[in-house]
Amino acid sequence: MSERLINLQPSCAGDYDPSSLSVPEALRRIDIEVQPLSGYQRLALRDALGRILAEDIESPVDVPAHTNSAMDGYALRGADLPETGVRDFRLVGAALAGSPYGGALSEGECIRIMTGAVVPDGSDTVVMQEHVEVHGEEIRIGPGNRLGQNVRAAGEDIPRGETVLRSGKRISPAELGLLASLGVAEVQVFRRPRVAFFSTGDELRSLGEPLREGDIYDSNRYTLFGMLTRLGAEVIDMGVVCDRREDLHAAFRQAAEVADAVITSGGVSVGEADFVKETLGSLGKVNFWKIAMKPGRPLAFGRVGGALFFGLPGNPVSVMVTFYEFVQPALRRLMGATEHEAVTIRVRSASRLRKRPGRVEYQRGVLRRSDDGEFEVGVTGAQGSGILSSVSIANCFIVLPQDSGDVEPGAFVEVQPFEGLV
Q: Write the DSSP assignment of 252-317 as a string of letters.
A: HHHHHHH-SEEEEES--SS-TT--HHHHHHHHEEEEE--BSEES----EEEEETTEEEEEE-SSHH
Quote the pLDDT of residue 1: 37
Among 11-20, 90-99, 374-383, the minimum mean pLDDT is found in 11-20
Whether the per-residue pLDDT at 354 is higher than 70: the answer is yes
At 8 the pLDDT is: 39
Asked whether the bond before 143 is cis by omega within 30 degrees of 0, the reply is no
Query: 51-62+161-190 sits in which CATH class?
Result: alpha beta
What does the alpha-carbon distance between residue 290 and residue 300 come to, in Å, rounded to a whole number? 7
Which pLDDT value is given to residue 345? Answer: 94
pLDDT at 422: 63
Contact call for residues 77 and 122 (beta carbons, < 8 A): yes
- Distance from C-alpha of 355 to C-alpha of 75, rounded to nearest angstrom: 67
Q: Rounded mean pLDDT of 327-342?
A: 91
Question: What would the pLDDT profile of 185-240 be if each residue is shown by its tens digit?
Answer: 999 999 999 999 999 887 888 888 888 887 888 889 999 999 999 999 999 999 98
Among 35-44, 77-86, 240-249, 399-408, the least confident range: 240-249
pLDDT at position 280: 75
Closest CA to 231 of 146, 328, 346: 328
Crossing angle (nearest 10°) for helices 245-258 and 276-283: 50
Higher-pLDDT residue of 174 and 277 is 174
Ranges for all domains in the chain classified under CATH 3.90.105.10: 51-62+161-190
Intervals of CATH 2.40.340.10 along the chain: 345-417
CA 198 to chain centre: 25
Query: 9-38+192-334 sits in which CATH class?
Result: alpha beta
* Cβ–Cβ under 8 Å, residues 140 and 87: yes
pLDDT at site 272: 42
Phi then psi for 385, rounded to 5 degrees?
Answer: -70, -10
Q: How far from 226 is each of 173, 190, 221, 222, 248, CA to CA, in Å?
A: 21, 21, 9, 6, 24
Bridge partners (DSSP) of residue 189 are: 41, 53
Class of domain 68-152: mainly beta
CATH 2.170.190.11-classified regions of the chain: 68-152
CATH top-level class for 345-417? mainly beta
Model-level pTM greater than 0.85?
no
pLDDT for residue 275: 65
- Contacting residues for 368 by C-beta, under 8 A, at least 6 apart: 375, 376, 377, 378
- Its sign, for the CA torsion 310, 314, 320, 322, is negative
Which amino acid is located at 282 in the chain?
S
Average pLDDT over residues 68-90: 97
Measure the CA–CA gap between 314 and 320, rounded to whole angstroms: 10
Name the percent of the chain lying above pLDDT 90.
Answer: 73
In which residue ranges of the chain is CATH 3.40.980.10 found? 9-38+192-334
Phi, psi angles (nearest 5°) of residue 31? -60, -35
Distance CA 13, CA 181 (A): 55
